[in-house]
Amino acid sequence: MEEISLRLYQKEVVQRALQGENSIIWLPTGGGKTRAAVYVAKKHLETRRNAKVAVLVNKVHLVDQHYQKEFQPRLGHIVKIMPISGDSREKDFFGRVVKESDLVICTAQILENALINTEEDKHVELKDFTLLIIDECHHTHKDAVYNKIMARYVKSKLEGVRNLPQILGLTASPGTGGSRTLEGAVNHVLQICANLDSVIVSTEEYVPVLKDAVPRPIKKYDIVETRVFDPFGDHLKMMMKIIHGFMPLEAQINLREMGTQEYEADVVELEKKGVQREDRSLAQCALHLRKYNDALLINDTVRMVDALRLLEEFYSSKMENTMDATNLFLLGLFEENHVELKLLASNAQNENPKLDQLQSTLLEQFQDENSRGILFSKTREGTRCLCDWVCANRKLKRAEIRAAILTGAGNGANHMTQRGQKETIQKFRDGTLNLLISTSVAEEGLDIPECNVVVRYGLLTNEIAQQQASGRARAQNSVYSVVAQVGGREMRREKTNEYLEELTGRAIAQVQKMDRREFCKKVCELQRAAVMDRILASRQKEEKRKRYNPSQVQFTCRSCFIAVGHGDDIKVVNNNHHVNINQDFKNYYKVGGQVHLDRTFEDWEPGRVISCASCGREWGMEIKLRKVVMLPCLKIKNFSMKTPEGNRVAKQWKEVEFPVEEFDFIKDIPNQFPDLDLDLDLDLDLD
């Protein structure tokens, strides 16, 4: 087993934690925060009676990384360690696993689920642990799952509850909370300290040692001249203007510049307005304009053919569902211009100049056969297009660049499975791949010591994301490249982030210099205010949830506005899946392909995709409960809700304005499915 050896600055920053004090360790990426946490956990387990440690992470792949690379090699010979993520069976018996283990490593959501679960084998209390280690703890804010966990902790502390666990937070980038002033940044750091009930510590005596141990990458700006000719983009904008002309005049007034995030926000609101008015023409035009805007953003980032492919895929899915004159107009507009768009996209003279610069940057950095790099892009679609471009590029092939995509896990078309994430990361570690093309999923925590080049391409992010991405380049003489248009927004944002990074350091230093009594008083004030805010927010949420009787809320398809059910048809399963239990609902949808997930679940399994029988809009999927009954599980964003005060839309079920009852297997199945032969072994306590 490996010994735990700490550098001098690591020994300095763990001292307060070793004394049992709640603390946040602030060290740069690559500074060894996790190693310091392993050391603290070891000392805690050795010295604390009945010690039990939980290590919380915010991304699934970090569970295995922390287990395999840090905790198991150094502590596995003396304590029982259990890694638990969404695809492991142990999550279904989390309470029992905690009792039988000395240290668990899990995603924060698994702990949150266990805290609210009432089943004995699944439930845990915060007091069951003696030490909580929170990785990337700057996410402990607002409604993030870390903050939900810590909100319970803080409330219990203020109520005088004893035997709460010690807290150890780890972060490389607390950030400024959006503030651009020192006062605002200080308040943000204090709020993080309050949320984690901790002091924030960093090295003071051994700064030179830290700088030697964690060399910053060489930062370079690879500047691209403004694109002079863009006939493909101009043609798309011309088509968008035609759609503008098709809409009511009032809808055109406040639309901002096409091909920007601001324009996307405008048409998203326009679609909502169309749904609320049941103006299908306006809503459909807005949806199509958003897709054209996506194509403009792709055209600005990658190739014209990628932007065209995006539109071709979109319109091929619309061919079967031409419902009215608006659909015919929009489809006809694309078909009329398709040939011209193809011709423009095939003209290499008009190609995106950013790609030439990106090619030069990659070729320069991959001259060494051992080079390893990460190329960050904003969207999943962007990563897909960039990967296609890299794999098709002859010069990059000759440089033996072997690329793959790494994006967030999920069930959508462009999502990766958790298994796919793990396999891709492992191939990158062992050298089978040498370039990851990634969204922000790889910014935090991904430990690749050999990575020597990071490229940020077409990104507008905050100072935290910039610091995290920069920290992926850990090898000696590594390079951090920003490919940006001269005078463009990416360039300005990057410069702003450099200032905010420096401001973060000044704010932390000021907090650390505060008189201890003053610090504790301020933290306590912030904690009391946060508890009151949560109580008020909870009451408001409860009031909002009771605004309408479920029977008063009519559900309609968000695309064609056909009425398909009511709020009292909806039940929630395991506080998660919202299903329609009305048998008549099946008359309104059609089924598609089988949904395949890379993990199994205790009491349900996926069925087929479901979509509106009238217009084809996807609504969700079937789920089979307890291997007995198949029910439609709905995504609320695909519906409009007609209430006594007008139409409403929601992104998530928690936003709906009527109460949703928990699904009762005993009551709801016989009532709604009387013909179903149920032979269930149910242990009922009828006393």
Give pLDDT tens digits for 143-159. 999 999 999 999 999 99
User: Residues 587-625: pLDDT tens digits?
Assistant: 999 999 999 887 788 889 999 999 999 999 999 999 999
Which tokens hold the place of 309? 């492919």
Tokens 């700490």 map to which residue? 6
C-beta neighbour count of 261 within 10 angstroms: 13
Q: How confident is the model at residue 685 (pLDDT cuts 50, 70, 90)?
A: very low
Section 248-265 average pLDDT:
87
Which pLDDT belongs to residue 450? 66
Section 307-334 average pLDDT:
89
Which pLDDT belongs to residue 109? 94
Which pLDDT belongs to residue 202? 98
Pairwise CA distance, residues 614 & 315, whole Å: 17
Residue of 128, 145, 167 lying closest to 58 (CA atoms): 145
- What are phi and psi for residue 590, nearest 5 degrees? -120, 155
Pairwise CA distance, residues 556 & 575, whole Å: 23
User: Residues 439-456: pLDDT tens digits?
Assistant: 876 667 666 666 888 888
Which pLDDT belongs to residue 464? 60
* 393, pLDDT greater than 50: yes
Which pLDDT belongs to residue 470? 60
Which pLDDT belongs to residue 684? 36
Which pLDDT belongs to residue 299? 95
Q: Which comes out higher in pLDDT, residue 677 or 660?
A: 660
* 197, pLDDT greater than 70: yes
- What are phi and psi for residue 439, nearest 5 degrees? -85, -165
Which pLDDT belongs to residue 471? 58
The pTM of this model reads 0.89
Pairwise CA distance, residues 323 & 614, whole Å: 8
SS (H, E, C) 61-115: HHHHHHHHHHHHHHHCCCCCEEEECCCCHHHHHHHHHHHHCCEEEEEHHHHHHHH
Is the distance from CB of 290 to CB of 297 less than 8 angstroms?
no
Q: Tell me if residue 200 falls in helix, strand or coil.
A: strand
Residue of 515, 519, 531, 529 lying closest to 193 (CA atoms): 519
Q: Tell me if residue 156 falls in helix, strand or coil.
A: helix
Pairwise CA distance, residues 387 & 375, whole Å: 10
* 125, pLDDT greater than 70: yes
Which pLDDT belongs to residue 680? 46
Lowest mean pLDDT among 23-37, 272-286, 486-500, 555-569: 486-500
Q: How confident is the model at residue 91 (pLDDT cuts 50, 70, 90)?
A: confident
Q: How confident is the model at residue 253 (pLDDT cuts 50, 70, 90)?
A: confident
* 540, pLDDT greater than 80: yes
